[in-house]
Amino acid sequence: MKNKKLDAAEVWKQMEDLAAPQLRLSVHERAVYTYLLRHSRIEGKPRLRFSIGWLRRGAGLTIRAARKAVRGLVAKGALRMIGRGREGHLVEVRVPEEIRGVRAGEIAACRAARARELDNLEEADFLGSPELREAIHRREGGRCFYCGRQLSPRTRCLDHVVPLAHLGGNSYRNLVSSCRECNSLKRERQPSDFLRWLYREGRLSAGELSGRLRALAGLGAGKLRPALAAAANGKWKLEIRKGVREGLRRRGSRSKVEG
Ligand SMILES: [Zn+2]
């Protein structure tokens, strides 16, 4: 078994969406499986040696329930028993996509769906809904993207990094949370020119300037994706779709937006 670095979020989704329902894992089996995964694969170790006492304490089960869950997981292919002895059990812990009973087609479909979500994110008009606008403000952590000043809902606005007149759009790569002063001072200037001007004016230190220029490059490269709350994912999908529709309707209308 390869021991490549795992994407823990991906493994967790596959476990909830595919492994648990398809293998019909019991509550105890789920508790044991996630506990063993956490101490093996998530730590980069394909195999794990453990005692039933350790497992039972960690998973919050009786000894009997822990033993039964281990047997169940071996039978379902989630664990491969390599050895059992005085030093405890030695098992190979499989991630969902390595378990024979978990259908590979569905895993591929899950990946494709997530890739589509990302595509949607790229196309979304982040001025299209209050929630998406808020996501941009949240990404900046309540500070002006340019001067770093602390913002409040009354003093903030969204600024087009590349002005709309220069073909900037409403993507998350081109919108930042900014104070009203920076928004009006920047006008049609290029963002890097504006940051250097702030430095010359003494509003940014040299270190802050280079930090802001790096952030600017990351923004354009798509590295500053607004975090979409996992718990509200379904809602976000809806918001993004709405944002895409709005974007098609009124692309390129304003350069500053309240919010
Ligand atoms: Zn500012």
Q: How far is the CA of 220 from the centre of ligand 1 (A)?
A: 19
Q: Which residue has the tokens 């493994």?
A: 11
pTM beyond cutoff 0.85: no
Q: How far is the CA of 203 from the centre of ligand 1 (A)?
A: 9
Question: What pLDDT score does 228 carry?
Answer: 66
What does the domain layout of the chain look like in residue ranges?
A: 8-102, 117-258
Share of the chain residues as helix, strand and coil, in percent rounded to the nearest 5:
55, 10, 35
- Over residues 50-67, the pLDDT tens digits come to 999 999 999 999 999 999
What is the fold of 8-102? Arc Repressor Mutant, subunit A (1.10.10)
Q: Which tokens go with 35? A: 């506990």
Q: How far is the CA of 175 from the centre of ligand 1 (A)?
A: 14
Q: How far is the CA of 185 from the centre of ligand 1 (A)?
A: 9
- Over residues 85-124, the pLDDT tens digits come to 888 999 999 999 888 878 766 777 777 776 777 677 888 8
CA dist 199 and 188 (Å) reads: 18
Q: How far is the CA of 146 from the centre of ligand 1 (A)?
A: 5
Q: State the sign of the Cα–Cα–Cα–Cα dihedral 233, 235, 238, 239.
A: negative
